[in-house]
Amino acid sequence: MHKKCQDIKENGLDNNYILTNGTNAKHVNLCHELCSSDISSRIECHGPQLSKAAVFTLLLHKKNRKNPTTPVLHHLSWPRIVIKSSASNSFQEIGGSDQMYWQTTDQPLPSREDLMHEVLNYVQQSISVEEMDPLVTSLLQQVPLFTSNNKLNSRLAHKYLWTLIKDREFLMTLALEDLNIFPRLLGTCGDFYGVEHVNTLKESFITPFSLSRDERLSKAIHIIQFIEKLHSIWREPLHLCDVKMTHFGWNSVGIVKFVDVDTVMPHSSLIERLQLVPKCEFDEDCAFFDCAAKCNSHLGICEPKRTNTNLQVVCKKIFLGETVSGVQLQGLLQLNNELEKDDSLREAITMCITSPDMTTQSLLHALHKAQDVHGF
């Protein structure tokens, strides 16, 4: 990190403050926080993640949370942020190119217009976004690529920009931030980026629930309301393809966020992924984590349709309990066999798991009814 901070400073990339308030999103350059001498004392480690070179929670400097004259994160209300850095090979989309213009040192770097064209083409191949130009403009603001007279800042800036763009989670976070259902992007420093910290349902899969029964019912209702939004909040439905208790969280004002944006798939992207599976023999060959699909064994291809729903997966893995490394964990609504005490809710959860036709409204009705039942 020390060498990276030196490179960032020498290339003039440590003083780029970006604030955008039109959608309540706030972006800043995080280098003053990440490159401070006391950073090791302000880090809370996370478990390993295959798609990331680093993920950790950073405790912000107290002076930066109190002193309005300090130009480093003083405008943010969160005392902690989550820092991520993409692994070098984390984003290898089918059909994408791994050799980018900046990787050949003797090749001239592009003009602003050529860069816009390069980024636009790459993003179009990577994610499904209707309005591309605002997203690309926002992407190009994340790193100070050009000086005030439109001259190239540095090759390193281009390298960092493309590393960020090749991180699908970063790209999706930026593309979907106006929806306010995923942790907000707060800023960048080189190939690191910071997102909003949330308090997850569980810190790890082995952590026991410390919530009361009423609190767990309330959390369940919030999650179902979140699931309900996914069908219509964007221009096409969004699929949660890696559902875990550690992936649902609540921010500082109590809004539900889903933290694993890397496995959130727009409907068209999920269908395209299914169509690009070269050959299948079993249904499992077509599954993308929790997003199930059917294999046409006669043709050896995946049928372009998801066979389960977000709601089914949540009912099975969050409410009833998931299996991790062969160990069955109790779910949010299964603790102390409480489903056995409420026939109506138990039937609703069972129906939810087995039937893709179960609606969020039906389940919400059962959850609200359970809140009114004395003793649950």
Instruction: List, for residues 186-211, the tens digit of each pLDDT value.
Output: 888 888 999 999 999 987 777 777 88
Place of tokens 């039942």: 373
pLDDT in the model for residue 338: 66
pLDDT grade for 276, boundaries at 50, 70 and 90: very high
> What single DSSP character describes residue 245?
G
- The larger pLDDT score, comparing residue 14 to residue 186, is at 186
Task: Describe the chain by its helix, strand, coil percentages, rounded to 5.
Answer: 40, 15, 45
Q: What is the mean pLDDT of the chain?
A: 81
- Residue range 291-311: mean pLDDT, rounded: 97
Q: How many CB atoms lie within 10 A of CB 105?
A: 6
Res. 131: pLDDT tops 90: no
How much of the chain exceeds pLDDT 90, in percent?
39
What are the two backbone dihedrals, phi and then psi, of residue 3, each rounded to the nearest 5 degrees?
A: -65, -40
Q: Is it the case that residue 121 has pLDDT exceeding 80? A: yes
Residue 92 is predicted with a pLDDT of 38
From 4, 103, 57, select the one nearest 197 (Cα to Cα).
57
Mean pLDDT of 109-129: 79
Segment 20-33 shows an average pLDDT of 56
Q: In this model, does residue 108 exceed pLDDT 60?
A: yes
Say how far apart CA 342 and CA 213 lie, in whole Å.
Answer: 13
What local confidence, expressed as pLDDT, does residue 365 receive?
95
Q: How confident is the model at residue 65 (pLDDT cuts 50, 70, 90)?
A: very low
Q: What pLDDT sits at residue 208?
A: 74
CA distance 228 to 359: 9
> Taking 80 as the threshold, does the pLDDT of residue 226 lie above it?
yes
Return the pLDDT at 107. 67
pLDDT of residue 126: 79
pLDDT at 164 over 60: yes
- In terms of pLDDT, which residue wins out, 353 or 374? 353
Sign of the CA dihedral with 238 first, then 241, 242, and 244 last: positive
pLDDT of residue 12: 74
Better pLDDT: 352 or 118: 352
- Start-to-end CA span in the chain (Å): 51
Region 48-63 average pLDDT = 76
- Of residues 341 and 371, more confidently modeled: 371
Indicate the DSSP class of residue 252: T
* pLDDT for residue 130: 64
**DSSP 8-state assignment for residue 340:** G
Helix (H) or strand (E) holding 238: strand 238-240
Residue 217 burial by Cβ neighbours in a 10 Å radius (0-12, 13-18, 19+): buried
State which fold the 200-266+309-372 domain adopts: Transferase(Phosphotransferase); domain 1 (1.10.510)
Residue 176 has which token pair? 């979907």
Residues of the chain with CATH 1.10.510.10: 200-266+309-372
Confidence of residue 301 (pLDDT cuts 50, 70, 90): very high
Long-range CB contacts for residues 162-167, cutoff 8 Å, separation at least 24: 162/100, 162/102, 163/86, 163/88, 163/191, 164/86, 164/139, 164/188, 164/191, 164/193, 165/119, 165/122, 165/123, 165/139, 166/86, 166/90, 166/91, 167/84, 167/86, 167/90, 167/91, 167/193
* % of the chain beyond a pLDDT of 70: 78
